[in-house]
Amino acid sequence: MRVLVLNGPNLNLLGSREPEIYGSESLDDIEAVLRDRAEQLGIELDFLQSNHEGALIDAIHEHGDWDGVILNPGALTHTSIALADALSATGLPAIEVPLSNVHAREPFRRHSYISPVVWGQIAGFGFRGYRAALHLLHQRWTERQAEGGSESGA
Ligand code: DQA
């Protein structure tokens, strides 16, 4: 199984950026936690962060032989129809993982263009959300394999 993990603008600042909201873990810490868990589950990870919307879209278009996507688009969550369209076009199961509980913050953070095209959202659990998403995608993939079916649709 192979999973793409995408991180959007300003997430390269994790650790020093408003730690009371986003936690004290850096993006490298999050990647290390995920790689560790991925190895235990036999999952190959592609992990990417960009501050540029187009770079994130290009990465999705590359559409390696991924079986799922975990993404935290940062503020692009609330603005990017283009990113949502790119994700939707893959037909892959994806999980949106905002670190903070966006529903308990400013009203503009409650709306996500991404949510309608993903399997689900895990919000407010910090880096643990990424780890939970990896488990959920793995579980789904394992179930589909057992059914002998192929993956399609979010
Ligand atoms: C975020 C929430 C967004 O509203 C914000 O713009 C971010 C981080 C989160 O992980 O909680 O950059 O995606």
pLDDT value of position 150:
62
- Output the ligand 1 site: residues, CB below 6 A: 10, 72, 74-75, 77, 98-100, 102, 109
Question: Rounded distance, CA 67 to CA 137, Å?
Answer: 8
Ligand 1, atom 1: nearest CA belongs to which residue? 74
pLDDT value of position 113:
98
Residue 36 · residue 73 · CB < 8 Å:
no
pLDDT value of position 63:
72
Prediction pTM value: 0.95
Task: List pLDDT tens digits, range 1-18.
Answer: 999 999 999 999 999 999
Q: Indicate the angle between helix axes 27-41 and 127-147, nearest 10 degrees.
A: 30
Ligand 1, atom 6: nearest CA belongs to which residue? 75
Residue 75 alpha carbon, nearest atom of ligand 1: 6
Residue 4: closest CA among 78, 58, 79, 75: 58
Q: In what order do the strands lie in the sheet with 2-7?
A: 44-49, 2-7, 68-72, 94-96, 120-121
